Amino acid sequence: MFGTEIYSSKHDNMKRILILSALCLQSIFMQAQNTPDLKADTAAITETALNYGEGWYSGDAVRMEKAIHPDLNKICPVVMPQSGKTILMISSWSGLVEPARAKAGFMEESERKIEVKVLKINENVACAKLTSAQFNDYLEMVKFDGQWKIVNVLWTFGPDSPNRAPMPDFKGDDEKPAVELAVRDMIEGIYTSDVSRVEKVLHPEYRRATAMTIPATGKTFIQKDAAGNIMEAVRAKLGAQPKEKWNMQVNVFDILDGLAFAELVTPSAHNYVQMAKIDGQWKIINILRKMASPPAKK
């Protein structure tokens, strides 16, 4: 093997150097091929977010259609003035594309105030925040055939919207412990088969989207689960774990206008959690899940 052989001439030494150099270059090339290009992905994710936001404001259905996946789940919590209770306003793929085509949200470019921040990239899934004049959105994306598509959105009305609800007492930094606790209530409730603890934090209209890839084709698809699926699995003790095997990490990305974005990492998956404070309680609305890669065989 290289490094153990004895070379007796300058020719052999030069040959050895050339071979080792070639192997090093090959190793670097292969590593580069296998390493995600974060700069390119960041630019592409930002472009997708802008296609979504500017597609709406400019009335460009083509840009909107390019940005969103047909399995889109878009949610906005809205407080009913008559009762003071919060409902969820749900939008579909066609409910964005067709109004965009009709220029229902048209606004002059100088008034849009669009800003995009990429919060997380994990191989083929990503999280971003888009703020603008009329809408503030938390976006969850999946890469399909090299194209980033939005699959989950949790949003609220922006600073210039006449529909914006006043929130004078809401302070994001003060809410961080409660947001983290809600995420822990969910996962620890699953581990302990505590139905009431999970039910406390999952909104009845909760949806989980899991990005799955078919090995035979390499194609990615979205598998969806609803709150009922999760609750029945907890009742059946399907996720029960002894405490010594608990291994979790919660990272709160962002809190804005009664919404929150967090990451829950467990040995089995990365979960990107969209939440809203509803009637004084943080509720989990959407999750985008990426399953952990199986350990390499020895």
- 280-296 tens-digit pLDDT: 899 999 999 999 876 55
- Order of strands, edge to edge, in the sheet holding 86-91? 86-91, 68-79, 147-157, 135-144, 125-131, 115-122
Q: Are 4 and 16 in contact (CB under 8 A)?
A: no
Task: Say which residue, 154 or 20, is predicted with more confidence.
Answer: 154
1 has a pLDDT exceeding 90: no
Give the percent of the chain with pLDDT over 70. 86
What is the Cα–Cα distance from 40 to 36, expressed in whole angstroms?
A: 9
What is the Cα–Cα distance from 287 to 183, expressed in whole angstroms?
A: 11
179 has a pLDDT exceeding 90: yes
Predicted confidence at residue 174, as pLDDT, reads: 92
- Domain ranges for the chain, please list them: 38-157, 172-291
Phi-psi region of 258 (alpha: psi -120 to 50; beta: other; left: phi over 0): left
Question: pLDDT per residue over 69-99, tens digit each?
Answer: 999 999 999 988 888 889 999 999 999 999 9
Check if 38-157 and 172-291 are the same fold.
yes
268 has a pLDDT exceeding 60: yes
Question: pLDDT per residue over 240-264, tens digit each?
Answer: 999 999 999 999 999 999 999 999 9
Q: Are 185 and 179 in contact (CB under 8 A)?
A: no
Under CATH, what is the fold of the domain 172-291?
Nuclear Transport Factor 2; Chain: A, (3.10.450)
Mean pLDDT computed over 228-245: 95
> How many residues would you count in the chain?
298
153 has a pLDDT exceeding 70: yes
What is the Cα–Cα distance from 8 to 267, expressed in whole angstroms?
A: 52
Output helix, strand, coil percentages for the chain, rounded to the nearest 5: 35, 35, 30
pTM for the complete prediction?
Answer: 0.85
Predicted confidence at residue 164, as pLDDT, reads: 87
State the burial class of residue 92 (Cβ atoms within 10 Å of its Cβ: 0-12, 13-18, 19+): middle
Strand partners, 68: 150
Predicted confidence at residue 170, as pLDDT, reads: 83
6 has a pLDDT exceeding 70: no
Question: pLDDT per residue over 25-47, tens digit each?
Answer: 333 333 333 445 889 999 999 99
Predicted confidence at residue 297, as pLDDT, reads: 57
232 has a pLDDT exceeding 60: yes
Predicted confidence at residue 209, as pLDDT, reads: 97
Name the least confident of 134-138, 144-148, 294-298: 294-298
CATH architecture classification, 38-157: Roll (3.10)
The secondary structure element, H or E, covering residue 219 is: none
169 has a pLDDT exceeding 90: no
Predicted confidence at residue 171, as pLDDT, reads: 84
